[in-house]
Every structure is written in structure tokens, then in C-alpha cells.
Amino acid sequence: MGSNPSKQKEKRSQSVAEVRILANGHVPPRRTVSTLSRVAEVSGREKRNPEEPVVEFPQEEYKDGKLGITSKDTILNYLDSVEDGELFCDPDFNADRFALFYSDRDASDFYWKRPVDLVEEWQTPQLMVDGVTRDDIKQGTLGDCWFLSACAAVSQKKEFMKKIVPSDQPLCGPGYKGVVHFRFWRFGDWVDVYIDDLLPTVNGKLVYGRCTEPQEFWVALIEKAYAKLHGSYEAIEGGQSMDALVDLTGGIPRLYEIQDKDPFLYRMIEKAQQKGAFITCSRKGNWKLSTKADPNGLVSGHAYTVTEVRKIKHVRGEDKLVRIRNPWGDNNEWKGSWSDSDVNWTWVDDQTKKEIGLQAKDDGEFWMSYRDFCKQFQEVTICQYGPDFDGDGVVDKFGCYACVKGRWECDKNAGGSRNDLQKFATNPQYILTLPEADDFDPQKDDPDLEGLCSIVISLMQEHRQSTRNVKVKKLQIGFFLYRTEDPTKKLSPQHFRYTPDSGKSGVYINYREVSQQFELEPGHYMLIPSTFHHNEAADYMIRVFGEKSFTLEGPLE
């Protein structure tokens, strides 16, 4: 039987909607738009990350965010005061137990050594050997696969790694002073993080992240710099890959929960990978109990890097494959269909194997079918370093960008959710003006997008560490868009009661950042960021990207 093009298009549109809903972690009941506008947010969502740290930090509000950040002038002045022959010792991140742990754990087996003391006499320690690659990374005993899998993803883009890991930093010989510096994106700005090169060891060996080459040290040192930003190594046990990807790129993250064998999600991953987006995936489970792989070779509660997707033609047909890397970088690899030495590869010609770089090595990287991928992994994170307007996983060029920072203050503008419309109306209200529709090409573009403006909106709550032993409280956040005819006046509680929203981020959730894309008619829109609970104080940042010029003003008084 022949296929019906209109039905195919309808099915694809439904798939897009389902993926976006799942990305926000919530599937609302089927209601009309008019009914939705009158339904209160009964509850927000506390998302517990499977890679939770062993010991919980106490929590408090964000303070100054300067933890781990020291100005270049301060470092240079410090180095000028160091006598000849002495090496830099970081006064802000001393090589002691407190740099390792925030909890009361025994550190008597740990000794701090510099790279020059960790190589053979005939070897020369280097920050990087022949550049940076994903194959460099080997995870140690620290549960920070969420960070290392992000490093592996970003390592495939040289321009980003050059920004994050400045070259020409000797670890011995002329010009060596024992100091190394990295750059991370923190709440809208690139910041420099300086550390000394003393690294934690046990029995003379690096115990945490390291490079596969014994004379290369960028992995161990970037991990230390990231730990400094969080207060200790223990503080980066457990986290979300999408946060690490943003810290490394300043990009826009989207988290997708895998539901069955979704062909649209595969296409989105494929196109995102082709255009250079950064992709990770994770398995649910308790990482604290997973010191070894399951019988199938995969590790529960663990984050991996998606390094390639490919459709493979062979004598029996065609298969969709995904290549994945375990940050452990060892023989803990997938043991099922399409694994390194699987019989399926006998169906594939030698030229194809060569093109995809097939190797039977115990390096943590492996292929698997997309069908098995959907069965074994539960989440995919795609981080674009520019907005993806049409939802196809491809980074689109954008003509306009706006960023504003603000603060929810108790008894002033921290109005909480729509459960109480009087209070909700006190939240900050920004005017987003879209003067004209995007350019439309009837030969390439979806007819449903004609006359609309493609916009990507991201809301991030301030979540940088302020002190070493207290975490910044992570609130349930979200945002709404309402059409308005008067861009000079704030919207009233009555407006929210009787007028449907034009878009929203989804259910309130305790992520550091929530983002969503919209296709809107030209006009004026009120953009309202809020926390779920009333009177929760926090700093926030809104980023908006558009194909055509727009304005973002406010908040209105």
C-alpha cells in the first residue's frame, strides 16, 4: 500500500510535540487551550538526579558566586612574590583534605604531587600531547562521569577546547611556575580559573580523572579546576551533563527522555551530531552501587558521550547505529548486538568499517543499534552552541540575541506559580516584541511556519557556588508567555484568569536551566519568569534568540 503524505506529516508533528513535552518531564492531560489557561499549577517537580552525591550539602541562597575565581592580576602579583625556584601553591584551594572532601572522610592515604613527579625520568609532562581528543579521558574513582562525558563531547570541537584550555602552559622547564588556568562559562560570562598543578594521588598514582597517555595532564587539571569552582572534588560527585556542557560552551541545553524507538529523536540526534552539537546520554540507577558494569557491559546511573550516529548498509539491509563512549575508557563496553567484535560486523564491507573507524579495542567506545540504545538509555542531552529554531537538532544562524539578568525578591516580585494569580501577577514582566515574521522559503520550510517568528527562550537560575560547604538551593523554575496589546502596562491577575498563555517552559522543575522554542505570530508578548513557590529569593538570567530582529525590555514597573 502507498503512504499518505498528510498522515505522515501529522504523525511527525505529533512526535515533535511529544519529545518537547518529555523534555520538560511532564505529560499534561488532554485539555483545550482555553481550559489550560484556567488550570493552576498544582505542583512543581523535584527531579532527583541518579548521580546524587553520597553526603548531602546543607543549602542556602546564592551569595556572591566568586568561589574558585581569582583575577589574573592577583595571580600575577602572587607569582611575583614567589622566590626563584619555588612553585605556585594555590592559597584559595590548598592541597589538603578540604580540597578533597566537604564531608568528614579520611584523607590519610592521599598525597599531592605535581605532574613532573608523576612521570618517568625520561618523560616530559605536558598539558596536552597532540591536542585534545575524547580518547584522552579516563575516569577515576570520583563519580563525575557527568562532567567527563561533557568534556569528551566538547573535545571534538577544537575551537571550544582552545578557549577552555589555553595552550602554551608548560608543566616543567623554562616558564614553568606551577600554575595552570582554564576558562569556564558561568552565568553569562567566561571566567578564568587558576590552580596550582598539585594533584591528589594514592600509592603514587592519580586517583581521579586522568589522560590515557601518562605524560599528558589536561584531564586531571581541568577536573581540579572544576572542583575548585564547586569547593572540593567531592562536590562534583553527582551532577547533570547538561550543566557541564553549558559551563564548557555557554550553549543551550535540552534534555530528552527516551520513549520507545522514536525515529524523530534519532533524526534529531543525527542532524545535531552532523552540525557539531554536543551530545551525552545516561542510564538511570544508583551510581553509588555501580562500581562495575552490568552483564551487558553498561553501567547503571552513569553518563556517556554520544560520539557519532550512522546508518550502516550491509548485506542484510540497513541499521541505525549509535557510537557511544564510556568515560571510564576501559573494557566496560556494550556486549550486545553491534558491539566491537559482534558477528553483525561480518555483514559490513571493509570500506564502510574503515570510514567509521571501527576498532576492536578496550577503550570504552562502542557501537550499538538505535533500537538497543533506546532500551538501555533513558535520557539524551543535546547542547547547541547557537539556537535550534526549527527543532530539527541543527544549529541555526540567528540575527538577534538578548540577555537580561534579574532577581526574585521576597515580598516584592517573587510571586510564585499561577496557583495564586494575585501573587503571580507580581512576578517580573518583560516585554518581548517581534516586529516581523521570519523569512519563508516554500521550497524548504514547513508551510505551518509561514508568517511566524522562531524564538528560543532560556531561563537560568543563579547556581554558582558561594561557599565550599554549603550548596546553593536549586529552586523549581519556569516561565510563561502571554500575548498583550499594550506593551507599556503589566498584565493583571484577571488577564491570567481569562486569557490562555501563548507558550511556557513546561512544568516547574528544579533544573539549573529550562529552555524552550516557540513559533509565534509577530506582536507583543509578556515574558514572565517565576519560581514555583511564593517568596523564594534568587537571581535569574533570561536569554532569547531570534532569526529576525526583536526587542526585550523590562521588567515593567
Contact 262, 320 (CB under 8 A): no
Contact 279, 153 (CB under 8 A): yes
Sheet harboring 477-484: ordered strands across? 503-504, 477-484, 523-531, 430-434, 551-553
- pTM (predicted TM-score): 0.86
Cα–Cα distance measured from residue 28 to residue 242, given in angstroms and rounded to the nearest whole number: 24
Catalytic site residue from 302, 453, 463, 510: 302
Instruction: List helix spans (H) across 95-168.
Output: 97-100, 145-154, 158-164
Three-state SS string across 494-531, please? HHHHHCCCCEECCCCECCCEEEEEEEECCEEEEEEEEE
Kindly give the pairing relationship between strand 278-282 and strand 379-384. Answer: antiparallel
Select from 143, 136, 186 the least CA-distant residue to 164: 186
302 given a catalytic annotation = yes
Contact 62, 466 (CB under 8 A): yes
Q: Which single residue is written with the C-alpha cell 563531547? A: 153
pLDDT of residue 481: 98
Local mean pLDDT, 10-residue blocks, the chain (557 residues)? 37 29 29 34 58 66 87 90 89 95 92 96 93 90 94 90 91 94 94 97 96 96 97 92 94 86 84 87 76 88 93 91 93 93 92 90 93 94 79 71 95 96 98 93 78 93 90 94 96 96 95 93 98 96 92 95
Select from 128, 150, 101, 306 the least CA-distant residue to 217: 128
Kindly give the pairing relationship between strand 477-484 and strand 523-531. Answer: antiparallel
> DSSP letter at 436?
S
Same fold, 252-383 and 398-553: no
pLDDT of residue 343: 93
Cα–Cα distance measured from residue 180 to residue 165, given in angstroms and rounded to the nearest whole number: 9
pLDDT of residue 9: 34
Cα–Cα distance measured from residue 361 to residue 549, given in angstroms and rounded to the nearest whole number: 50
Cα–Cα distance measured from residue 172 to residue 178, given in angstroms and rounded to the nearest whole number: 8
151 given a catalytic annotation = no
Cα–Cα distance measured from residue 17 to residue 437, given in angstroms and rounded to the nearest whole number: 22
> Can you give the length of the chain in residues?
557
pLDDT of residue 46: 67
Cα–Cα distance measured from residue 443 to residue 451, given in angstroms and rounded to the nearest whole number: 15
Select from 374, 418, 402 the least CA-distant residue to 528: 418
Catalytic site residue from 24, 326, 332, 510: 326
CATH topology of domain 252-383: Cathepsin B; Chain A (3.90.70)
Select from 152, 144, 228 the least CA-distant residue to 186: 228
Return the domain boundaries, the chain.
59-248, 252-383, 398-553
CATH architecture, domain 398-553 = Sandwich (2.60)
Which cell numbers hold the place of 68?
574558585
Cα–Cα distance measured from residue 293 to residue 299, given in angstroms and rounded to the nearest whole number: 4
Alpha carbons within 13 angstroms on the beta-carbon side of residue 500 total 8
First to last CA, the chain: 62
Sheet harboring 453-461: ordered strands across? 400-408, 538-546, 453-461, 513-520
The sign one gets for the Cα dihedral 128, 131, 136, 141 is: positive
pLDDT of residue 159: 85
List, in sequence order, every residue forming a beta bridge with 216; answer none if it has no partner.
Answer: 126
Select from 531, 529, 523, 520 the least CA-distant residue to 551: 523
